[in-house]
């Protein structure tokens, strides 16, 4: 299975829609001069999804031996309008989860 097929399967499982790959977008997100995320976001058009026509997806390795690879799929819905927005939304969500886990 190719990387794009893997992401399509994840999108189907998470969002219940078929996805067609549109493009690969390099994204580098920085905060206070430091790179906080850098990678390629895969952009897919969705077929028959009730609220979104597009989704942004990628995978990354983790430090968890039980789940060594994590997949992310962010719908194109306000305020997410681009691959960069999807990465920012993911970072914000992760920081909130991390803060909640530390409390």
**Domain residue spans in the chain?**
3-102
Mean pLDDT to the nearest integer, 58-74: 89
3-state DSSP assignment of residue 1 = coil
Higher pLDDT, 49 or 94: 49
Residues 17-65: pLDDT tens digits? Answer: 999 999 999 999 998 999 999 999 999 999 999 999 999 999 988 888 8
Residue owning tokens 């399967």: 9
CA 102 – CA 14 distance, rounded (Å): 27
Instruction: Tell me if 27 sits within 8 A of 10, measured CB to CB.
Output: no
What is the per-residue pLDDT for 89?
94
What is the per-residue pLDDT for 95?
82
What is the per-residue pLDDT for 71?
93
Residue-wise burial string across 69-87, b where 16 or more C-beta atoms lie within 10 A, e elsewhere = eebbbbbbeeebeebebbb
Residues 6 or more apart whose CB falls under 8 angstroms from that of 20 comprise 44, 45, 47
């Amino acid at each position: 299975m190719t990387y794009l097929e893997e992401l399509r399967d994840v999108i189907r499982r998470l969002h219940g829609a078929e996805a067609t790959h549109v493009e690969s977008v390099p994204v580098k997100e920085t905060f206070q001069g430091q790179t906080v995320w850098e990678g390629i976001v895969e952009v897919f058009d969705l077929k028959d999804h009730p609220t979104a026509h597009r989704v942004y997806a990628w995978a990354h390795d983790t430090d968890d031996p039980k789940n060594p690879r994590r997949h992310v799929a962010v719908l194109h819905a306000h305020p997410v309008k681009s691959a960069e927005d999807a990465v920012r939304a993911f970072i914000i969500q992760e920081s909130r989860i991390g803060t909640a886990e530390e409390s």
